Each structure stands twice: as structure tokens, then as C-alpha cells.
Amino acid sequence: MTNEKYPYEIKAVKMEVEGTAHKFPVIVRIGPKGYVFPENFKHSAADIYNMEVRPSDVFVASFPRSGTTWTQDMVWLIASNLDYERALKVPLTERYAFLEFFSSFNDEMKMKLLDANKDDEAKLKEVKLLLKPATEILETTPSPRFIKTHLPLSLMPRKALEAKVVYVARDPRDAIVSLHHLVNSMKFMSMDEDFKAFWKSVLNNFQPWTPYFDHVKEAWEMRHHPNMLFLFYEDMRKDLPSVVRRVSDFLGKKYNEEEIARLCDHLSFDNFKKNPSVNYDLIKEIGLMYADKDFVRKGKSGGWRDYFDEEMIAEADKWIEENLRDTDLRFPSMQ
């Protein structure tokens, strides 16, 4: 389906026909690159694409599990004059609108969530907020608005680059391992397939937000745009102060060395993992995520080697080589 409000074709695909390692019975493929989303996304795609963008908006975008949460907290603090008090008090989920997350839930999931929280007024309110279209929430959000998305640039609001966009990319092998852990921590997405089956489903572009390389390359191609900042997760791990300075410059902020050192300490992995404001505790409380799982996991680079056998390493090498052949994109971990 296409219409005058949306420039891309949306095709529905029944997954029991193609077979894959996730729980969405129907997915949609969007546009010439065939980006994958849960079926419900087709109802919100045009609203997101045509959303009004304010020049003061700040988007943090990525393929899932590329260091998004870490980048979000860094960007918010830099843009908000290092307001640690508010950052620790107000959860990241309230400081950022997650642009497409509400469309991940089908009617059955929505009913289960609402029913599970019906006896707790506070939790029920949070569930209803989670299920409300982000475009509606953003209409009444005061500026500056902070927006998280895993949409590729072409499916983001068409005027997104009239605002600021920070895109973070990560070695796909690490991102896919982390995404597998996340999927299995979510009650409505967890599955029995092992990592190898999940890997194949990403390789074959059946997982939501794939194809991975098209996603990253769209942002990479716009990296010289004055309103786009392209970051690598591995650079953040290796030299966070340098990245903090780049983000500060991009957002028109100036901080001294002492302030940068304090921010890097706040964002250090040990402190970040213990920070309830960024650990999505709310998602556990309302029953979306298993209580014994961690949203922020190990955060290390190169951890994929613990999960890939020789066959998968060969597949990954070929996949990466083929997709980087036509571009000067190079990941720090691959140089």
C-alpha cells in the first residue's frame, strides 16, 4: 500500500510462510530496501514521516543495541546543561519519546498489558502512555524535545535534518548478539531459538529494523550534513571524553575539562549499569520484561566472539565485505 501522504510501498508478509526467529506472525516490508517492522507499523508510518519537526528537536537514532541508551543519556545531559539531578530523577523513557515503539504492540499484546496492570493505577497510566502514539505525545511536549528512534533516516520524519540528529553505529556482530539478549528478555518477543537461528534471521533480513547495513549507510551518507553527527559505539568505549567534546560542539555547548571528566564518570559503564534512570525498571514493573534480565548488559566490544562458531564467522566476514564494498564506511573494530 502507498498513498499521497507516504512515499514508500508497504508490503505485508506472513512469517509462517517465510519462517523466522521471532514472534510476529505478520511483518511489513517498507520501500525499495524492504525495511522490516511489525505489522502495526503500517498504521503509523505516514504520521511519523509527516510529523512536524521543530528546529530545537534532538533525535538519537540507531539500529537497535548500538549504544543507543548510553548515547541518549550523554546527549540529554550535554544539551540540558549537565542537569544530573533531573537526569537521575526522571527516567530516560520520560526524557525521550520513542518514536515507533508503540507500533510494536498488536491488539492481543495491548489487552494483556492493560489487563496485567489494571489493579495498579500508576502502572496502568504508564502502560497507556506506552501504547499512545509518540507523534501525539510530542505535539504537546515543550521544546527542546528529545526523540529516540531505531528508524532508518529515510523512514524518520522527512524534515528530521532540519533539527539535530545524532546517529550511533556499532559493529553489527556485537549489536546482533545484544539484540538477541534483548529479544529474549522481553516477554512478548522471547523465543526458543538459539543464537544461530537468530543470526540467520538477521542475515536474511527478517528481524524488525533490518536490513542492518542499509540502515547504517543511510546515516553514513549524510554524515557531512551540518545537522547530522555520526558516532561509533567503539569510539565511545575507547575515548569517551573526545566523543563528549564532539557532541558538545555539535549541540553548541561548551564545557571545561572538569565538567567533561564528571560527565564521563557519570557515563562510565559501572555507574551507568547501576543507574535506575536508564535501566528501564519501569518495563519490568509493568510486565514487559523479565525481572531477572538486565537492559544494560556488558557493553563491551568484541563480545560476539563468544557466540559465533566458524561457520557464522565466515558468513559474517562475507556479509560485511559485500556490504562495505560500495562505501567508505569502516567500523573502528574492523580496522
pLDDT band at 232 (very low <50, low <70, confident <90, very high): very high
- What confidence score (pLDDT) does residue 270 get? 83
What are 215's three cell numbers? 540502515
Domain boundaries, the chain: 51-334
- What confidence score (pLDDT) does residue 113 get? 76
Residue 297 has pLDDT above 80, yes or no: no
- What confidence score (pLDDT) does residue 17 get? 43
pLDDT band at 19 (very low <50, low <70, confident <90, very high): very low
User: Pick from 148, 149, 131, 132: which is nearest to 140 by CA?
Assistant: 132
Mean pLDDT of the region 42-62: 97
Nearest-angstrom CA–CA distance, 16 and 1: 21
- What confidence score (pLDDT) does residue 136 get? 94
Nearest-angstrom CA–CA distance, 281 and 294: 9
Q: Supply the pTM of this predicted model.
A: 0.90
Helices (H), 96-193: 107-116, 121-131, 134-139, 172-185
Residue 298 has pLDDT above 70, yes or no: no
pLDDT band at 102 (very low <50, low <70, confident <90, very high): confident
Neighbouring CB atoms inside 10 A of 73's CB total 22
What are 37's three cell numbers? 517492522
- What confidence score (pLDDT) does residue 295 get? 46
Mean pLDDT, all residues of the chain: 87
- What confidence score (pLDDT) does residue 60 get? 98
pLDDT in tens, 244-273: 999 999 999 999 999 999 999 999 988 887
Mean pLDDT of the region 283-290: 60
What are 194's three cell numbers? 538459539
pLDDT in tens, 172-202: 999 999 888 877 766 555 555 688 988 998 9
Nearest-angstrom CA–CA distance, 244 and 330: 21
Domain spanning 51-334: CATH 3.40.50.300: yes
